[in-house]
Amino acid sequence: MLTFQQQISEAEAQLRKLTSRMRTAFNEVPLAAPSTYFQDRLHNIRTETGEDVDARVTLRVVEDWFATEHDKSRRLLVADAKTIFGEIQGLHRELQTFNKKLSSFNTSLQEHLEHSSAVFDNLSELKISIYSGVEELDYWSVINKITNDREEWTQEDSLPSVDAVAHLNALLAIWDGNRGINAQFKSLVSIRGSVREQGNFRQFRNRAELENISSNGLSYLVLIILFLGFIGKVRGNAPVQLTWCVDELKAIDAENIVSLCNYLGQNRITLCTAFPDPDAETLMLFEHKYKLDAERRLVHCELALENDATDDGELELAWEDGE
């Protein structure tokens, strides 16, 4: 049997072992509240007594922490965690709202596109999607998880779970030291779509592909139809007349120029354009026709039937000086 003295020695050895683990636990996160409190208390005790702190004194410091400081520190941690996770959740909410609004806009835009694409010759099955790159952001999946985490641990007013902290660390791993994380909505939007021209199916996934989709003005028409969709969405049923300036109208084939002018008129849009080689067939689509002469004066244009011919006669241009 162990003597009483041996039992005391073993108990003290066990106490030293346990308090050593406590020291390690308190100092695990430098500058955190437990570590700061523990180090300050031990330093003050050494200063006051001039002796090393033994296991019994260490245990008393630990007891004091849980009696006076632990709950206070925990409340501060919970409050800070709610603030940090809340700001991330706010960013997630903004991006999600942006995504939903873009999706809703897309739906209403398609209704206009289906009608518009049927207006022009050799153009059908036009589909344009205003694409959102939100879900392709490198941090989207992480802030999505953090948002879900916050909904769980805040309900019980507890500290974030181990998984929640791991997700926060994953976000910090891609955090820009100068700018943090941010999202420029303009850079998150792109245009994708497809169209069938004269039986040929064509696709575009960005602006460059749209501009080069055809050599006969098809991309021009697609852009105009897209802008009409935007105008229809913003203007709604308000009786507002707009004026559009369209450059290089002759890039579009003649049949579709007629369709375009008529369709813009139906949508309460007045077309204003300029081109270097006017012809009577195109000019007759416009109520007001002008040119600049060599002296950069405005000259008015009138259309007349050649030799006072009938409806089968050819149109000719007559220019008159205008003030």
- 234 occurs within a structural domain: no
> Could you tell me the pLDDT band of residue 322, with boundaries at 50, 70 and 90?
very low
> Could you tell me the pLDDT band of residue 226, with boundaries at 50, 70 and 90?
confident
- 192 occurs within a structural domain: no
Are 57 and 43 spatial neighbours (Cβ–Cβ below 8 Å)? Answer: no
How many structural domains compose the chain? 2
- 302 occurs within a structural domain: yes
Burial label for 160, CB within 10 Å (0-12, 13-18, 19+), is buried
* Share of the chain residues as helix, strand and coil, in percent rounded to the nearest 5: 55, 15, 25
Which of 187, 205, 221 is the last residue in one of the domains?
Answer: 187
DSSP assignment letter at 69: I
- Give pLDDT, residue 117: 67
Whether residues 96 and 13 share a domain: the answer is: yes
Are 147 and 92 spatial neighbours (Cβ–Cβ below 8 Å)? Answer: yes
Which of 187, 220, 255 is the last residue in one of the domains?
Answer: 187
Whether residues 42 and 113 share a domain: the answer is: yes
Whether residues 150 and 270 share a domain: the answer is: no
Q: Which residue has the higher pLDDT, 274 or 51?
A: 274
Per residue in 155-205, pLDDT (tens digit) is: 666 788 888 889 988 988 887 767 777 778 888 888 888 888 777 888 888
Minimum mean pLDDT range among 12-16, 196-200, 216-220, 315-319? 315-319
Whether residues 9 and 157 share a domain: the answer is: yes
- Give pLDDT, residue 323: 44
- Give pLDDT, residue 313: 46
Percentage with pLDDT > 70 across the chain: 89
Whether residues 164 and 51 share a domain: the answer is: yes
Whether residues 45 and 129 share a domain: the answer is: yes
Domain that holds residue 67: 4-187
Whether residues 159 and 294 share a domain: the answer is: no
- 219 occurs within a structural domain: no
Whether residues 85 and 173 share a domain: the answer is: yes
Whether residues 31 and 127 share a domain: the answer is: yes
- Give pLDDT, residue 69: 92
Q: Tokens for 110?
A: 């398609």
Per residue in 284-299, pLDDT (tens digit) is: 888 888 887 778 887 8
Per residue in 19-54, pLDDT (tens digit) is: 899 999 999 988 889 999 999 998 998 888 877 788
Which of 144, 169, 187 is the last residue in one of the domains?
Answer: 187
- Average pLDDT of the segment spanning 229-237: 81
> Could you tell me the pLDDT band of residue 304, with boundaries at 50, 70 and 90?
low
- Give pLDDT, residue 35: 92
Q: What average pLDDT does the structure give for the chain?
A: 81
> Could you tell me the pLDDT band of residue 64, with boundaries at 50, 70 and 90?
very high
Instruction: Identify the residue whose tokens are 């030293």.
Output: 16
Whether residues 130 and 251 share a domain: the answer is: no
Phi and psi at 192, nearest 5°, equal -135, 150
- 204 occurs within a structural domain: no
Per residue in 90-127, pLDDT (tens digit) is: 999 999 999 998 888 888 777 777 667 677 777 777 78
Whether residues 21 and 146 share a domain: the answer is: yes
* pLDDT of 63 strictly over 60: yes
Whether residues 163 and 285 share a domain: the answer is: no
- 196 occurs within a structural domain: no
- Report CA-CA distances (Å) from 144 to 141, 163, 238, 241: 5, 13, 40, 44
Percentage with pLDDT > 90 across the chain: 12
DSSP assignment letter at 66: I
- 68 occurs within a structural domain: yes
